[in-house]
Amino acid sequence: MARPAAAKIISAGARAPTPDEAAASIVAAPDLRGEIRNWFGHLTGEKRLAALSLIAYHRDVANFFEFLSDHLGGPADIAAIRDLHLRDFRSYLAKRRREDMSSRSLARVLSSIRSLFRYLDRNGIASSAALKALRTPKVPHGIPKPLTATNAINLIAETNELDHAPWIAARNAAILTLLYGCGLRIAECLNLNRSAAPLPATMRITGKGNKERLVPVLAVARNAVEEYLALVPFGLEATDPLFVGTRGARLNPRAVSELVAHLRRRMGLADSVTPHALRHSFATHLLAGGGDLRTIQELLGHASLSTTQIYTEVDSQRLLDIYDKAHPRAK
């Protein structure tokens, strides 16, 4: 039997699937596919999840139901998922483990599946006591790895040393300055349109879940964007992307990741130096400079203060490192 295009998962950087597209790609019986379409519509419309989150939910659930089709001997319907046991979910997690999936990724996959089952439960369609009893894989505790202030500034300056056209060098410097100077996510930066410039002293940013926040913009960031716009060879209209590639289309996040990877190799920096590390550096350096957690939470657009509190661990670790290196009794 021909399967729906479950393997044709929409990749990061592309648009999220519509509810109809998401449901059509799931290996499931028609009655269950209809409910999956409704669930995905709920994520899209009511919860207003960001495109990358929708892509991840879709990918995780599609993979789970492809497994179930093999596991059960055919596409699952609503009756089948009502009868799932703990061993069925454990078999799925074991399969992903054999595929070398990390505990962090397994926890994310399980969160996606639970989101669907919570929706089905709330609407009286199906409930799974087994899934509720399943323990989430323990995720190793990690802390962000920011750059030092000197390395962050030098990373941005290093863009001028690359063999790029002047407008591309100016564009790259402007992007990295916004990531570090304003704490933007890559998507938030690259989603800006030409109408955003000249950048105001305070910029309204739309982040995850379409939540808006106000972000102060340093003069150095405003100037970097103006330098780029003075050189860019395309006549950008207000509705055009602010940051474009060599063909005038919106720049892909992968290009920024590759840029930072190249820069860190040139500078001999750790593999942890990524575009997102500049956002970590923004938060960590603000905290070290006396910024309070609540303000940093608002600047980053974190929904919960507990997410922001991880940066206190970074600062504590920095103090311990200084202590170990400098205290006479630590020698």
Residue that the structure tokens 């997410």 belong to: 307
Active site includes 57? Answer: no
State how far the Cα of 208 lies from the Cα of 205, in Å rounded to an integer: 10
State how far the Cα of 155 lies from the Cα of 175, in Å rounded to an integer: 12
- Which of left, alpha, beta for 237 (phi over 0: left; psi -120 to 50: alpha)? beta
Active site includes 302? Answer: yes
Q: Where are the beta strands (DSSP E) in 18-122?
A: none
Which whole number is the average pLDDT over 169-195?
Answer: 93
Range with the poorest average pLDDT among 1-5, 36-40, 166-170, 190-194: 1-5
| DSSP state letter for 148 | P
Active site includes 250? Answer: no
Going by C-alpha positions, the residue among 122, 114, 119, 129 that lies closest to residue 82 is 129
State how far the Cα of 285 lies from the Cα of 222, in Å rounded to an integer: 20
pLDDT tens-digit map of 195-232: 999 999 998 988 877 788 888 899 999 999 999 999 99
Range with the poorest average pLDDT among 94-98, 199-203, 301-305, 318-322: 318-322
Residue 286 has pLDDT above 60, yes or no: yes
Catalytic-labelled residue, pool 71, 250, 276, 318? 276
Averaged pLDDT score across all residues of the chain: 85
CB atoms within 10 A of CB 39: 23
Catalytic-labelled residue, pool 71, 208, 213, 318? 208
Going by C-alpha positions, the residue among 262, 273, 56, 240 that lies closest to residue 151 is 273
**If residue 98 lies in a helix (H) or strand (E), which one and from where to where?**
helix 86-98
Sequence length of the chain is 331
Asked if 10 contacts 52 with a C-beta cutoff of 8 angstroms, the reply is no
pLDDT tens-digit map of 68-90: 999 999 999 999 999 999 999 99
Catalytic-labelled residue, pool 37, 58, 59, 302? 302
Catalytic-labelled residue, pool 171, 194, 264, 279? 279
**If residue 206 lies in a helix (H) or strand (E), which one and from where to where?**
strand 202-206
Could you tell me which residues are beta bridge partners of residue 213?
A: 205
Catalytic-labelled residue, pool 185, 194, 280, 285? 185
Residue 141 has pLDDT above 80, yes or no: no
Asked if 59 contacts 9 with a C-beta cutoff of 8 angstroms, the reply is yes
Asked if 131 contacts 84 with a C-beta cutoff of 8 angstroms, the reply is yes
Residue that the structure tokens 């209209």 belong to: 237
pLDDT tens-digit map of 91-123: 999 999 999 888 888 989 999 999 999 999 999
pLDDT score recorded for residue 89: 94
Which domains does the chain carry? 19-133 (1.10.150.130), 149-330 (1.10.443.10)
Active site includes 311? Answer: yes
pLDDT score recorded for residue 60: 95
| DSSP state letter for 42 | I
